[in-house]
Amino acid sequence: MTAPPLPPPLPSASTSARETLLDVAGLSVSFPTPDGSVRAVVDASFEVGRGEILGIVGESGSGKTTLLMAVARLLDAPGVRVEAERVCLGGRELQALSDREFHRLRGAELSVVFQDATSALNPTATIGRQIGETLRAHRSVSRKAATAEAVRLLELLGVPDAARRSDSYAHELSGGLRQRVMIASAIAARPSLLLADEPTTALDVTVQAGVVDLVVGLRDALNMAVVWISHDLPLLATFADRVAVMYAGRIIEVGPSQRVFDTPGHPYTVGLLESIPQVKSAAGGRLTAMPGSLPSPTDYPTGCPFADRCAFRMDVCAEMPTFRSVAPGHVAACWLLDEGRDSGDR
Amino acid sequence: MKMTSDSLTRPESAPLVDDFGAASGSVLSKMVAPMRRLVSSRKGKAAAAGLAVYVVIGLGWRLLPLPAPDYIDQTVRLRGPSAGHLLGTDEFGRDILSRIFDGIGITLGVSAISISVALVIGVSTGIFAAYSGGWVDAVLMRAYDALLAMPDMILAIAVAAIIGTGARDAIVALAVVGTPQFARIVRSSCLSELPKTYIEASVSLGGSRARIMFRHLLPNSVGPIAVQTAIFGAFSVLMLAGLSFLGLGVQPPAPSLGGMLSTARQYLATAPWYAVGPGLAIALLVLTLNALADCVRDITDRRGR
Amino acid sequence: MTASSGQALLSVRDLRVHFTHAALLNVRGRAKTRAVDGLDLDLSRGETLALVGESGCGKSTTGRAILRLVPAAGGQVTLDGVDVLALRGARLREARRDMQMVFQDPLGSLDRRMTVAESIEEPLVIHKLGTPRERRRRVRELIGRVQLDSKLAGRLPHELSGGQRQRVAIARALALEPKLLILDEPLSALDVSVQAQIVNLLLDLQSELGLAYLLISHDLRMVQHVAQRICVMYLGKIVESGPAQRVCDSPRHPYTEALLSAVPNPTGGASDRIVLQGELPSPAHPPSGCTFHTRCPYTQPVSCRTEVPSLEQAETGRWVSCHWHREIRSGTIKAAKRKIDLKGLEGISHEGVA
């Protein structure tokens, strides 16, 4: 079956002041399962500017984590297939790099922070050594210097009693501290892009606030771009520059985060926001819940994947919509945005 | 397959015998699917077929037109394979083939019974120890540890030496070796299930100890139990053969595969065919059971059941 | 602390739950963690009371202690006039019919070898209610009540979605017609859109069946929407309680204030967020005096470190446990602000990769 045409390049959806650092176009990920071929990511395209924070929001099964892992080349399920038109970091096409070359990028240009700090950290090495390891992998520094720098980083990142903590092991720290350690380790070599997969989902809300502030501060200090995955759209709206909404493996809406939060363009985003009680809203009463559930990933419909659950479904939705403009810099893939316009052209 | 959690089906229109009939399935009906998976691979088919052959032989060999296994005829001592004696005769002129078949029957019987005993005692004490915890668990497990500390064959020999020889005592010896193994495996499985939320949920619903042990812990340990059963099956056949070989298992004049092997040693130069039959019979049975154990392990691994 | 209206269905007084560490042998004896340290609450029929706090505050332990799933070290739990903590054996089993729990992990709370119908039927079987035919009818009715497709009755938990599993768990909890449902983070394992469906279901069930809910949660947004009253917990104690709306609009306790300001609010103005310093202390070694003083932005040299504050009534129906809550309210005492300074990072230059 022919893939729907790529969306046109999105100069309007990216922040004009920033130079593009990460440019992904037409990325698809699929892998075989006993129940059929699962299309985890379908034709995803997005850009991240230098020093920009892009949030990717979606529920489980939306493909957001798989997308991130594909960019970071961390997918290793058997039989997984990653295809993309373009995956460029700083002008360099990443798909052309060998595994060794790509490996050298890690830490220095591109770093990943995971949701579960416990399993991402080595339980048998002290945290000072782990952070130092990243440093020594990318620069020729002595072990002593690396450990000293690690302590300095921990201090800066708000870990109390850093010198002593540097000698502790991961399991001796609380969740919030472990996450800070992971972040310290990730930025030790000052990468230009940080990929974060739900880094605060498992943390308490007060701790989450601290980590968010930390990452924003790091972006400001290092001009580091961040791609932050979350299921929490209001959270992303408070600090991300732009946000992309994913559903059933596709990116269905992109725009400035505050704008997407205030005036969402895609019915799914609308439904998502209506499902969340806002802190200062009137209490009691039912929430507007979206009916139905996600389509099965082995069996996505050919048209718009949200059509079955959409209150505004039309006949034309049997065809996958391309991105349409909601406002300057804000696009969504929905035929509704065509209202009033000639639907004859495609 | 789309499931809409919002759809509501009116209870009145539902037929009386509906999914509920199939839903609360009996124990046997829940075994159908795994059994089918077991024989889906080539190894599974071969193992199942092999075991079936042995069982058929063990149960039905008397229907075959064979000489009686205990019929002594000194005139045909240690003859090679012939029309009347397909595998030859032993030192008393008895037909080797029929003795092998009889021996298979006895072996299967002894194994089956000792597995059953070890399973029942081992599983129930294992669950009980896991659930009780504390000193009950400690005492039971130390007792089992003591038994497990000895190499199996030595332990079996020791038991046989204490309680006597013969098929019945061999069953006891094998059960003594097998029970701690079952107990340990089951206890381990139960310990990993106990902290899980559904156990807590059952307590909050008012579930009694017995209910939790036998309605929740036991079914969720079926996987490891099945694997252990298959492993112990192969194991018990080998051990019984070993005991009989040493003269501690099944006693003459009853035929035993191990015993025949032992006797055949003396006649290796003059009647080499004597050893081949029993040896192959043991080897193939153990191989079949091991293959079966592999298949059981494979199917439990995938679903974790 | 009296209930808001009517006679209290559930009344908890001075509940204490302690965990001892067998491994730690210090001079004074075994180390003890006071997971719940003297807790009072009241819940009326048909009301939703939320127990809110972060990990380690003891809210889940409170719920479990009420249900006798963990042993209580002291205190009283009265359900409809019966002291639950004093019951044993058959009488305890009898009392369990009135109070049930819906757990955080829908998949884990269901026996993976039991079908939907079997799981829902289990409480009826345990309490020997009805003939098999009557039980089946009741199961069918319950499946309909939680808006689950009856075709799913024969399915196993792993064949269902998260929302469906939670519906099964709710149906099972309702089977015995309880008066009180303790919901232990019932939504946190579910997707946002599914959360809304389940919340609606729970609200509907509450009005149909007159259930009282004790909602244990860390999600302030959801709690503020659903609960009539809130109790905020910190390290085993309640630090503030009152009507949900009022507590969230104008919190009186510094911790509540920090908690609320940490909830992402894109519609608010520039974030004047209160960032708590330090880490959550270990429940095994709580700070002296007011346990919150190590992280409190309003902490004062007098009292905070030395005296344990008690719950006082700040207004009708609102209780706060803070030495200085009046001064904080009137503005006499201000919060100390903290900002993250990361300028030091620019020090080392970035060497490019070959």
Of the listed ranges A1-5, B28-32, C238-242, the one predicted with least confidence: A1-5
- Facing B9 at nearest CB: one of C96, C127, C144: C144
Instruction: List the helix and strand counts (H, then E) for chain A.
Output: 11, 13
CB contact under 8 A, A158 and C340: yes
- The Cβ of residue A100 has, within 10 Å, a number of other Cβ atoms equal to 7
Give the N- to C-terminal CA distance of chain C in Å, as an integer. 68
pLDDT in tens, C143-158: 999 999 999 999 999 9
**What percentage of residues in chain C have a pLDDT greater than 90?**
63
- Does position C24 have pLDDT exceeding 80, yes or no? no
Q: How far is CA B225 from the centre of its chain?
A: 11
Domain interval for residue A267: 20-96+232-279+287-338
Give per-residue pLDDT as tens, C152-199.
Answer: 999 999 999 999 999 999 999 999 999 999 999 999 999 988 999 999
Q: Quickly count helices (H) and strands (E) in chain B.
A: 12, 0
Decide if A280 contacts C267 (C-beta within 8 A): yes
Confidence check: pLDDT of B8 > 80 = no
Lowest mean pLDDT among A5-9, A93-97, B246-250, C275-279: A5-9
C-beta atoms surrounding C310 within 10 Å: 12
Return left, alpha or beta for A51; rule: phi > 0 is left, psi -120 to 50 is alpha, else beta: left
Instruction: Report the residue of chain A nearest B7, measured CA to CA.
Output: A292
Higher pLDDT, B223 or A9: B223
pLDDT value for A38:
87
Is the distance from CB of B199 to CB of B212 less than 8 angstroms? yes
Q: How many domains does chain A have?
A: 1
Q: Are C327 and C335 in contact, with CB atoms under 8 Å apart?
A: no
Least confident span in A28-42, A81-95, C106-120, C259-273: C259-273
Most confident of A35-44, B234-243, C280-289: B234-243
Percent of all residues in chain C with a pLDDT value above 70, rounded to a whole number: 89
Q: Do B2 and A291 touch (CB under 8 A)?
A: no
**Per-residue pLDDT tens for A70-103?**
999 998 878 899 999 999 998 899 999 998 999 8
Phi, psi of C254 (to 5 degrees): -55, -35
CA A326 and chain centroid, separation: 22
Please state whether the peptide bond connecting residue A32 to the residue before it is cis, i.e. omega within 30 degrees of 0. Answer: no
Report the pLDDT value the prediction gives residue B28, as an integer from 0 to 100. 64
- Return all residues near C26 (Cβ < 8 A) that are at least 6 apart: none
d(CA A191, CA A22): 13
Of the pLDDT bands very low, low, confident and very high (cuts 50, 70, 90), residue A36 is confident
Distances (CA, A) of A41 to A250, A307, B2, B19, C254: 6, 18, 20, 36, 44
Q: How far apart are the first and last CA of chain A?
A: 18
Which residues sit opposite A26 in a β-bridge?
A: none
Q: What distance lies between CA A110 and its chain's CA centroid?
A: 13
What confidence score (pLDDT) does residue C74 get?
A: 92
What's the confidence (pLDDT) of residue A108? Answer: 85
Q: 3-state class of B179 per DSSP?
A: helix
| Residue A311 is assigned to a structural domain of this protein | yes
A330 in a domain, yes or no? yes
- pLDDT score of C279: 77
| Nearest to B192, CA basis, from B245, B130, B143 | B130
Rounded to two decimals, the pTM is 0.86
Q: Predicted confidence band at C339 (pLDDT cuts at 50, 70, 90)?
A: low
At residue C132 the predicted structure's pLDDT band, cuts being 50, 70 and 90, is very high
Quick one: average pLDDT of A26-44? 89
Neighbours, chain A (3 or more CB pairs < 8 A)? B, C
Distances (CA, A) of C72 to C15, C58, C80: 7, 13, 19
**Looking at the domain assignment, is residue B186 inside a domain?**
yes
**pLDDT band per the 50, 70, 90 thresholds, residue A9:** very low
Residues 216-255 of C with CB under 8 A from A: 218, 220-222, 224-227, 244-245, 248-249
**B1 in C contact zone (CB under 8 Å):** no
**Per-residue pLDDT at A25:** 94
In chain A, how long is the greatest CA-to-CA distance?
A: 68
Cα distance between residue B262 and residue A172, in whole Å: 62
Q: Residue A3's pLDDT is what?
A: 47
Rounded Cα distance, A303 and A290, in Å: 19
* Distance, CA of B55 to CA of B35 (rounded, Å): 18
pLDDT in the model for residue C268? 64
Residue B174's pLDDT is 94
Angstrom distances, CA of residue A115 to CA of A80, A128, A171, A179, A197:
22, 20, 16, 8, 6
Task: Check whether B305 has a pLDDT greater than 60.
Answer: no
Q: Evaluate whether residue B295 is within a structural domain.
A: yes
Going through A34-138 in order, the beta strands assigned E by DSSP cover 36-49, 53-57, 81-83, 86-89, 92-93, 110-113
Instruction: Evaluate whether C4 touches C44 at the Cβ level (below 8 Å).
Output: yes
Please provide the DSSP assignment of C74-126 as one string. EEEEEETTEEGGG--HHHHHHHHTTEEEE-S-TTTTS-TTS-HHHHHHHHHHH
Question: Average pLDDT of C203-207?
Answer: 94
- Rounded mean pLDDT, A14-29: 82
pLDDT in tens, B189-222: 999 999 999 999 999 999 999 999 999 999 999 9
Please choose, from the candidates C252, C214, C256, the residue with its C-alpha nearest in 3D space to the C-alpha of residue C234.
C256
Element (H or E) spanning C254, and its range?
A: helix C254-262
| Residue in the structure block whose two tokens are 């081992």 | B122
According to the model, what pLDDT value does residue A14 have?
46
C-alpha distance from B7 to closest chain A C-alpha (Å): 9
Report yes or no: C237 and C37 within 8 Å, Cβ to Cβ. Answer: yes
* Surface of B (3-32) touching A: CB under 8 A: 3-6
Distance, in Å, from the CA atom of B171 to the CA atom of B150, rounded to the nearest integer, reads 18
* B225 found inside a domain: yes
CATH code of the domain containing B45: 1.10.3720.10
Mean pLDDT of C38-65: 93
**Residue A298 pLDDT:** 82
Interface test with B, best of C111, C165, C174, C176 (most B CBs within 10 A): C111
Picking from A226, A246, A317, the residue whose alpha carbon sits closest to that of residue A40 is: A246
Q: Is C267 helix (H, G, I), strand (E, B) or coil?
A: coil
pLDDT cut 90: percent of chain B above it: 50
Q: Is-contact B79 B85, C-beta < 8 A?
A: yes
Q: Which residues pair with A194 in a beta bridge?
A: A111, A226
Phi/psi at B105 (5° precision) = -60, -45
Give the pLDDT mean for C264-287.
Answer: 76
Instruction: Give the C-alpha separation, A56 to A43, whole Å.
Output: 15
CA atoms of C2 and C242, how far apart (whole Å)? 11
Question: Taking 90 as the threshold, does the pLDDT of residue C256 lie above it?
Answer: yes
| Cβ-Cβ contacts under 8 Å for C184 (sequence gap 6 or more) | C60, C63, C64, C101, C102, C103, C104, C216
Q: Check residue B303 and give its pLDDT.
A: 54
Residue-level pLDDT at C4? 46
In a domain, A148, yes or no: no
Report the pLDDT value the prediction gives residue A231, as an integer from 0 to 100.
93
Does residue A324 fall inside a structural domain?
yes
* Apex C80 CA angle, C213 and C49, nearest 5: 20
Distance from CA of A293 to the nearest CA of C (A): 8
Asked if residue B236 lies in contact with residue B111, where contact means CB atoms within 8 angstroms, the answer is yes
Q: Give the strand pairing for A225-230 and A53-57.
A: parallel
A7 residue type, one letter: P
CA A144 to chain centre: 35
Distance CA A120, CA B157 (A): 51
Residues of C in contact with A272 (CB under 8 A): 192-193
Give the C-alpha distances (Å, rounded to integers) separating B18 from A234, C102, C118, C153, C213. Answer: 45, 28, 14, 9, 34
Place of tokens 């409809």: C80
Find which of A2-6, C105-109, C221-225 is predicted with most confidence, using mean pLDDT. Answer: C105-109
Whether B2 is covered by a domain: the verdict is no
Mean pLDDT of A161-173: 86
* ipTM score for this prediction: 0.86
How far is the CA of A251 from the CAs of A26, A64, B230, in angstroms?
A: 11, 9, 51
- Summary mean pLDDT of chain A: 85
Mean pLDDT in chain C? 87
Across residues A153-174, what is the average pLDDT?
85
Domain that holds residue B232: 41-59+88-303
pLDDT confidence of residue A33: 84
How many angstroms separate the CA atoms of B288 and B299, rounded? Answer: 17
* Chain C residues with beta carbon closer than 8 angstroms to that of B200: 69, 103, 109
Write down the number of H helices and E strands in chain C. Answer: 10, 12
DSSP A198-223: STTTTS-HHHHHHHHHHHHHHHHHHT
Report the pLDDT value the prediction gives residue A162, as an integer from 0 to 100.
85
pLDDT at C338 (0 to 100):
67
CA of B190 vs chain C CAs: smallest distance (Å): 13
At B25, the pLDDT band (50, 70, 90 cuts) reads low
Cis peptide before A234 (omega within 30 of 0): no
To the nearest whole Å, the CA of B303 is away from the closest chain C CA by 10
Give the pLDDT confidence score for residue C221 in this predicted structure.
Answer: 87
Do the domain assignments include residue A329?
A: yes
Residue A159: partners with Cβ closer than 8 Å, 6 or more residues away? A165, A177, A180, A181, A184
pLDDT of residue C124: 95
- For residues A116 and B135, which has the higher predicted lDDT (pLDDT)? B135
Q: Is residue A194 part of a domain?
A: no
The CATH code of the domain that includes A269 is 3.40.50.300
User: What is the enclosing helix (H) or strand (E) of A24?
Assistant: strand A20-33
Contact A158, C279 (CB under 8 A): no
Q: Which residues contact B272 (CB under 8 A, 6 or more apart)?
A: none
Interval B268-303: pLDDT, tens: 888 888 888 899 999 999 999 999 998 888 887 655
Residue A12 lies in a domain: no
The count of CB pairs under 8 A between chains A and B is 15
Q: How far apart are CA A4 and CA A43, in angstroms?
A: 8
For chain A, what percentages of helix, strand and coil (3-state, to nearest 5) are there? 35, 25, 45
Count of domains for chain B: 1
Q: Kindly tell me the burial class for residue C318, based on how many C-beta atoms sit within 10 Å of its own C-beta (0-12, 13-18, 19 or more).
A: middle
DSSP H or E run through B299? helix B273-303
pLDDT in tens, A104-125: 888 889 999 998 888 888 888 8
B68 assigned to some structural domain: no
B223 CB neighbours in chain C (<8 A) are none
- What is the identity of the amino acid at A127? I
* B18/C115 touch (CB, cutoff 8 Å), yes or no: no
pLDDT band at C28 (very low <50, low <70, confident <90, very high): low
Which pLDDT tens digit goes with each residue over B61-119? 888 888 888 888 888 888 888 888 888 888 888 888 889 999 999 999 999 999 999 99
C-alpha span between B112 and B104 (Å, rounded): 12
